[in-house]
Structure 1
């Protein structure tokens, strides 16, 4: 069984905040997102990561189609402002300057799920740095 994790503490500073898929049976970890040192989709032995603390992230499995070919279209039905408001509210909460509207906005969007490297993750589960990265990579002015 594969478990999604976000590393919260590690002796290796570049691992903190990184997101991984862990296969304990195979003793392997697949990188989904990291600051540096590791690339997306890179698979490493669990031993290479050393000792770390983590929190589990929800992982959604997908079945593959029974035929080859075709195309895939990912449509975002969300305004950039929604994610920016959520991120700003969370910054105020973490700074201790939040009001009731901030808490209500975060609660109303607690189930907001986004796709990162083909896997679903709740936006509020990401670090502020990862949230900023998602916003800058996802929304463009033109194609």
Structure 2
């Protein structure tokens, strides 16, 4: 059981680290080239938007899996365990694992949406700062 927990913990940690690394990279590129800062942020935003478009099909499937996953009542599970109904218990375990995988996909999409929102906020702030400088 802990191998499943470890697997998804590692996956989520990697997703967070990747997201943080991308934002740090964009931030560093913006700091290095102030005159091209808007282009750098817009370029990364475009990359994220393209990734989001590609992920839509798998995200829909993942959300459907999450929405459709129903756990069996505890009484049934206890009866299956008592009867040693391995086939049903295995099927339940596989459904739970698909649910965990789908939830990870939804989390990934949410993190990418947060990245896009962060970059959009940065672009909006840059526009406001530019307008102040022109006034």
- Tell which has more relative contact order, 1 or 2 (C-alpha 8 A, sep 6+): 2
What TM-score does the superposition give when structure 1 sets the normalisation length? 0.26
TM-score for the superposition, normalised by structure 2: 0.27
Q: Larger radius of gyration, structure 1 or 2? A: 2
Structure in which a larger fraction of residues adopt strand: 1
More helix by share: 2
